[in-house]
Amino acid sequence: MGTPLESTDARNKLEDLSGVVVKPGENPYDALIKACSSRPAEIQSLYSTHRVTRNSQQREKFLSSDFKELIIDPFLFRLEKPEIEPGFQDPRNCLVFWARPPDHIIKLASHLQSLLLKAAPDLWLMPSHRMHMTALEVAHSRTPDEIASLVSAMRPTIPDLTNITYKNRSRLVKPLISYDLSAFAVSFLPAAGESVLSPPPVPPHPKDVAHPGLAEGGTAESDNYTYHHLRRDAFNLAKTTGVDIGSRYVVPSAHITLGRFLTQNNHSTLQQRQAWIQAIESINQWLESEVWDVADGEFIGEWIVGQERGLVARNGPLWYGGGKTIMEGEGF
């Protein structure tokens, strides 16, 4: 047998840079909510602190005189280049609950991919139909039988989990490119009273269901329930099944992976890496000036989680948007 492949997580640990410390045994999402006294503006600020600090750290790594190489995902590399190891299959099975982006966010994400591709033509890009944001990771890197056992234990609660977004609606705003040595994503912040930009619910919809974040005005009240509250509640609901929640990391981040690196070609020289960073910073300036809080622009930068489809329970080899759907919740 060959040497076991090493996940990029082992070389590229995603740490919470918000400054919040999680106590052992508690719901990990509660710590940040309590630290902010549940105030949306403070929750948004800590999410922003995390992504700004991380981007700054990664910028230093890319431009450092000690830079050695990008972190190439060995699993994806073999899947994309089957001649390297014919018959290779990803052995890491997972159980997750994803939030699928609505059409207007897919449009924005695909445009961002095209801009990044100009700066680095050899990128691996996440197919638009596989784009997702992980709301809750129950288990990862397990065998199919282990995952099947978890699904069986959770099955009675899966309908409630996938439909949790129908009446518990949280808004995400202010998209920005986040990146590291292995991948790049578009990340969002929980809303905190910004103007509503998203399309209205698709009719028909029940008159007795509140649509926080969608109605005219009222955003300050509706935004009291943030995406971090949603993740907290999903975690609590999943725990009622008796299953241990084995997430790889719990950080204040709401992101859609846009792509990964499969080669050193576009980043082998300092000049290339400088061009990459400049491209990302230019895109982020464009997002802030032309997409954030812009009501009549070409792109909408706001996402109300649950638009068009509820959460999706999926299992199998999921790292790159694969796997299979167990159940999808109702959208609005």
Distances in whole angstroms, Cα of residue 58 to Cα of each of 70, 79, 121: 11, 27, 20
Give the domain extent around 182: 32-328
Q: For residue 67, is it within any domain?
A: yes
**Which SS3 state, helix, strand or coil, does residue 119 take?**
helix
Alpha helix stretches (DSSP H) within the chain: 8-11, 28-35, 40-63, 74-80, 103-119, 144-154, 158-162, 164-167, 219-222, 227-239, 270-290
Residues of the chain scoring pLDDT < 50: 1, 208, 210-213, 215-218
Query: Within 13 A of 330's CA, how many CA atoms are on the CB side?
Result: 13
Q: Which two tokens stand for residue 90?
A: 């990803």
Strand partners, 313: 97, 327
Q: pLDDT value at position 295?
A: 87
CA angle 165, 168, 173 (to 5 degrees): 80
CA 255 to chain centre: 3
Q: pLDDT value at position 204?
A: 67
Q: For residue 24, is it within any domain?
A: no
Q: Write the pLDDT tens digit of every residue in 188-197.
A: 999 999 988 8
Helix, strand, coil: what percent of the chain each, to 5?
A: 40, 15, 45
- Helices 28-35 and 40-63: crossing angle in degrees, nearest 10, is 110
Q: For residue 149, is it within any domain?
A: yes
Burial label for 261, CB within 10 Å (0-12, 13-18, 19+), is buried
Q: How far apart are CA 332 and CA 305, in angstroms?
A: 10
DSSP letters of 205-234? --TTS--TTTSSS-HHHHTTS-HHHHHHHH
Q: For residue 27, is it within any domain?
A: no
Q: How far apart are CA 247 and CA 138, in angstroms?
A: 6
Q: Edge-to-edge strand order for the sheet containing 324-328?
A: 133-142, 93-99, 312-316, 324-328
Domain count, the chain: 1
The CATH number of residue 77's host domain is 3.90.1140.10
Q: For residue 22, is it within any domain?
A: no
Q: How far apart are CA 15 and CA 73, in angstroms?
A: 19
Query: Within 13 A of 227's CA, how many CA atoms are on the CB side?
Result: 29
Q: pLDDT value at position 3?
A: 57
Q: How far apart are CA 182 and CA 254, in angstroms?
A: 18
Q: How far apart are CA 306 and CA 124, in angstroms?
A: 27
Q: For residue 23, is it within any domain?
A: no
**Which SS3 state, helix, strand or coil, does residue 98 take?**
strand
Q: pLDDT value at position 14?
A: 55
Q: For residue 133, is it within any domain?
A: yes
Q: How far apart are CA 41 and CA 72, in angstroms?
A: 37
Q: pLDDT value at position 7?
A: 62
Q: For residue 6, is it within any domain?
A: no
pTM, entire model: 0.90
Q: pLDDT value at position 212?
A: 46
Q: How many residues does the chain have?
A: 332
